[in-house]
Structures are given as C-alpha cells and as structure tokens.
Structure 1
Amino acid sequence: MDQLSAMRAFVRVVETGNFTRAARTLDMSKTTVTNLVQNLEGHLRAKLLNRTTRQVAVTTEGALYYERAAQFLSDLEELDGSISSSQSQPSGRLRVEMAGAFADLIVIPSLCSFYCSYPQITLDIGVGDRLIDYVAENVDCALRAGTPTDQSLIARKVGEISLRTYVSPGFIEMFGMPEHPRDLEAQFFSVGYLNAQAGRVLPMEFRRGEETLEITPRYAVSVNDSRSYIAAAVSGMGVAQAPQFMARDAVEKGQLVEVLTDWEREPLPLYIVYPRTRHLGNKVRVFVDWLVKLLKESAARDADRPLAKKPQKLKEQFEPTSVAAE
C-alpha cells in the first residue's frame, strides 16, 4: 500500500465531506480514492469513516487519526518545499481568489512581470467576493479587504486601501453638492454596497479630527460588486465611498469628482488568507511577496497623484445655493 497516498486521500475526504469532491481535488477517480481509504483502514485495522448514500461521517478513531495525519502531511509538504525551493524555482498550479477590481486594475495588468520571474507557476484566478470553501474548491489563498473573522483561516496583512467619497458631475448638476456626511442620510442618495456575507448594505464611515460618524446611506440602487459600484456612481445614481485605486480612472476622465474632502475614512486593511490545514507553500510565498510589492506601488501612485477637485464651473454654480435647496 502507498500509505502516503492513502493518508492524503483520507484527509481530503474528511476535509471535503465526500469521496466525489475529494477525488476531484486530488485529480483521481472516485474508485481510486475509495480503494485508498479502504486499504488504509485495513492497514490500521480500524474503521475511520462511516459511509451512507448521503454522507460520510468520521468515527472516533478516524477523528484522532485525521488530526495527526493532517499535521504530518502539512509538515512533510513544508519540509519538501524548503529543500526543493533551494534547488529550483517554485512551480505548480496556484489557485487564488480576489475581488474583480483587484484583478482587473492591479494584478492582471502586471502579471507578465510575475510570469517572467516564475514561469513554472500556473495561476488560476477566481474573481468575486463570494464565500469560498477553500478545501473543497482547492483554493490556495485569497486576497480579501477587511479584517477576517473566520477563525479557520490564517491571515497575513499585506496592505491597506485608501477610500474617498465621490459623485458624478451630472449628479451635482441635478441635486447639488453634499456639504456634510449627514446630508447623505437626509437629502442625497448614495450607491449602496451590499455585503453578500452580512446580507446588508454597508454603512459609510467618516472622520474629521476627533469626530467620527457612521452613516446609513439612502439609496435607490445597491450592488454587490465593486466594479458595478463605480459604474453606478459614474452613471449618477448617487454618492459612493470607494477605494482610491478603483476611482482613479473615472476621476481622470472627469466622470467622478471628490466630495466631502475635509472628511476621511480609516484605511481598509488587506489580507491574504488561507486555510489552517495548509501551510504557506513556496509558490504561495513568492506570489504573496510579489503582491505586497505591487500593492505598495499602487498606493504610491495614488499618493503621488492628487485626485481632481470639483470643476470650478460647478463650484461657482452650486455654492452657496444648490438645486436641491431651490
């Protein structure tokens, strides 16, 4: 019996919950995985799994064996990686998840530089803010904004996102200029950002000196995708509080202008997260290091390029009296 293969098959069945998903993530047939687990049980002379037509349950002996086997396989992979990394370049398939804005505006435009440095790594990039079953979907790591709350994940902070408040010139012409964050509760519509995990529209946060405000926005439309969020703001659907790197292009084109400039928001932390059942392998390490450098370069570009102020024509036209006040 190939005990290592049998241990890997058993561990993956436990983590994914059934033989079919385990076989898919291991790139094996379901029959092969089943035989490996059965051979392992025979070798140990113990029943590790209770199988029914609908589910797989771990026995008491199986739970004890899984805990030690998972740690052993993780240590073995890390040991192999530490030796092989000194002998050759990182290689293999790397599955990464991230929001569409990060992929489109930061990561993908610079991927050629990563490939030139690590041509033996194949990247599979999943785009979206959805909930992920890291083990069942064989995801190595994900780039996520905000402090992670899932205790089953290991998180490494890799940067911060600067957020500003924007609106389209057309919105200003129609409704006027917001002068205070409280205006977004009583007078002006915003674009709502619907957090899929929380199932609610996120509040807007503002800080000026010691004063902090959390605003529940009035909105005519909410979206759960960052690119759609910017598109809705550009179309004039309301005020948006968005990452600076996402709004950069629309600001340069005159499609968005910054408002409430005397208020700021705490930067949003960025984390690389991965499941505790996996160590940070060499191919993941080099990708994370490359990503950290890329995020720093993006932040530096934003810092060196002040965002356009509202057009003088609009400022003269709507100060001190706005259309909405007439």
Structure 2
Amino acid sequence: MSVDRYKAMEVFNRVVELGSFTAAATALHMPKARVTTTVQELEAHLGVRLLNRTTRRLSLTDDGALYHQRALAMLQDMGELEGALRRSVATPAGRLRVDVPAAVGRHVVSPALPEFFKRYPDMVLELGSSDRPVDLVAEGVDCVIRGGLLHDETLVARPLGRLKVVTCAAPSYLAQYGTPKTLEDLEQHRFVNFHSAKTGKIFPFEFSKNGELRQINRPHWVTCNDADSHMGAVLAGLGLAQPPLTRRTCALLESGALVRVLPDWQPEDLPMVVMYPRNRHLTAKVRAFADWVAEVFKAEFAAGAKLYPQ
C-alpha cells in the first residue's frame, strides 16, 4: 500500500466518522475540495462507490461499509505498530546478535556489560567472540566490531576511534637477543606476527617517523590470528610484536611484563569500527549498542594516549 493510499484511507475514515466532508476537512486541516477529491480518487482506484451522497447526508454503500471496517482495523494496527516502534527507540528492547574479536569480547566488552544492562534492561544480547570472518546476513548477526581497514561494500562501518600501537617484547626475549636501537637491527630479531583469519595474510610490521612510513617483513617464527594467543606468545619471550595499546597492554607495559622498543618509530594506529549490513535498517537496538560500545572504547583509546602521548 503506497503512502497515497494510506492517506486516502485516513481521509475516508474521517469523513465517515464525522459524516461530513466539511467537518473532515476541518479536522484534517485540509481544503474541503482536496478531501472530496481524495475520496473520489480512492473510489476510482478501487473501482467501487464507497459513499452515497445526497444534499442532506452521507451514507456508506455496502462496499463502503466493508472497506471502512477493514480500513479502520488496518489503521489501528498501523498506529499500534508505530507506537511500539517509537517506544523501542526510547527504550530499545529485544534480542541483539553481535560478533566481536575474541580478545575484545573477553577484555573490553564483557567486563562492561553490567553497565549496558543497567541502561537497557529489556535487551537480550547474544555475543559471539571470534576472529573468524562472519557473514552477517547468512548468520543473522546484527553487527560486528572489527579492527583495521576493512573494504566490504555490503557493510556500513561506523568508526569507533583509533587504538595506538606499540612495538614491544618481553624482558626475557630482550635479555637473550638484545634491544634493537634502529630498524636495521631488526634483521637480527624474531617477530611474533599476526595473520588474517580470513585470508591467512601475515601483517607486516609498520613504522612511521617524520612522515616516512616503513614496512618490514621478516620470516616469522610464530604467527597467530587470535589477540590473546598473540599476546601469550609475546609474554613467553618468543619475539617482538606490535599489539594495540589497550588498557591490558598498557598495564603489562607499566608492570614491566612488556618493554617498549624503538620509541622513535611509531607504528600506524589501528582503526576500530562497528559494522552492520548496508541493506538493513539501522535499528534502535543496533544504534544503542553502537553508541554504548563507542563510550566503552573511549577508555581504551585514552589509556594508550595517556601512556604514550606522542
């Protein structure tokens, strides 16, 4: 049903309720001629006469009575639906399926969920934590959180911010292999790499200084596609790494469990985004979650900026 038909239905029902084109025009704040034309166009569209018109009164035809009864029920249903949607915008409710990287789910999202449910007590969250590619439409997932530059025209990406990245290693590794002072020193070092769970691509180490960007690819000793496994390998002394400066990484650096190296060469920041299907309406539930998780990530971004302002 087009918008014009819906409006015509409203006009017709108001004419029937008030028993007059003039009264309906006044109630609808429309010219009387427009009300009359609207009903005539509706009758022409349906191919039946809805009203018997005399100089004294209006009366419904049999077809008009049937149409009025059905139209009234439809308008009431539409009113209830619109009311429910307006209430859902004010207080989002219902099931929301979200997928996040495993480490983000474990260390960032899950610890903050009590506050989420205080804010949205009628929400039911189904949280998937994995680093594998997710087909949002096929798997019925409402939105995902991902890190890095992602190119998928089927998805809309809302930026959450950018995490600083640090080059670091465990003290045990540096004690065995020494601390690199220049990029050339890296030729003598081992890397703990990270690779894409989707393509298997190994991400190079990146360094930036005074506008100069350098990428270094070294044969890896170990590579991971899970942030926690990656951090575990670094803490075990297996090599240099470039993890994002989350609050967890900051705590490890401040405690001495990790040591920053090559401070003059800053790795590229890691953009974080929340994504949902382009052809799917941004529901109140997704909007509420995206707004909330953006607030949660502010603490992650602030931790890195505080520890290393540059």
- Return the TM-score normalized by structure 2: 0.69
CA distance in 2, matches of 1:149, 1:86: 32
**For residue 299 of structure 1, what is the aligned residue in structure 2?**
301
Give the superposition deviation at 1:133.
Answer: 1.5
Give the alignment of 1:1-326 within 5 angstroms. 80=82, 83-85=85-87, 89-184=91-186, 186-245=187-246, 246-306=248-308
- The number of residue pairs the alignment matches comes to 229
Give the superposition deviation at 1:297.
Answer: 2.2
CA RMSD between the two structures:
2.1
* Deviation >6 Å, runs of 4+: none
Identify if the C-alpha distance between structure 1 residues 274 and 87 changes in structure 2 by more than 3 Å, giving closer, same or farther. closer
How big is each residue's C-alpha offset from its partner over 1:263-316, in whole Å with a ceiling of 9 and x where there is no partner? Answer: 112212111111123111001111111111111122123323459xxxxxxxxx
Structure 2: which 5+ runs fail to align? 1-77
Give the superposition deviation at 1:181.
Answer: 2.6
Give the superposition deviation at 1:225.
Answer: 0.5
How big is each residue's C-alpha offset from its partner over 1:243-268, in whole Å with a ceiling of 9 and x where there is no partner? Answer: 01142232233211110111112212
**For residue 21 of structure 1, what is the aligned residue in structure 2?**
none
Give the superposition deviation at 1:146.
Answer: 1.4
- Answer whether contact 2:95 2:123 (CA < 8 A) is retained: yes
CA distance in 1, matches of 2:192, 2:175: 17
CA distance in 1, matches of 2:87, 2:148: 32
Q: Which amino acid aligns with 1:247?
A: T
Q: Percent identity?
A: 37
- Answer whether contact 1:192 1:217 (CA < 8 A) is retained: no
How big is each residue's C-alpha offset from its partner over 1:196-237, in whole Å with a ceiling of 9 and x where there is no partner? Answer: 223221101100103210010332111110111111010000
- Answer whether contact 2:209 2:266 (CA < 8 A) is retained: yes
- Return the TM-score normalized by structure 1: 0.66
CA distance in 2, matches of 1:81, 1:137: 30
- Answer whether contact 2:164 2:305 (CA < 8 A) is retained: no
- Answer whether contact 1:193 1:224 (CA < 8 A) is retained: yes
Structure 1: which 5+ runs fail to align? 1-75, 308-326
- Answer whether contact 1:81 1:282 (CA < 8 A) is retained: no
Identify if the C-alpha distance between structure 1 residues 233 and 212 changes in structure 2 by more than 3 Å, giving closer, same or farther. same
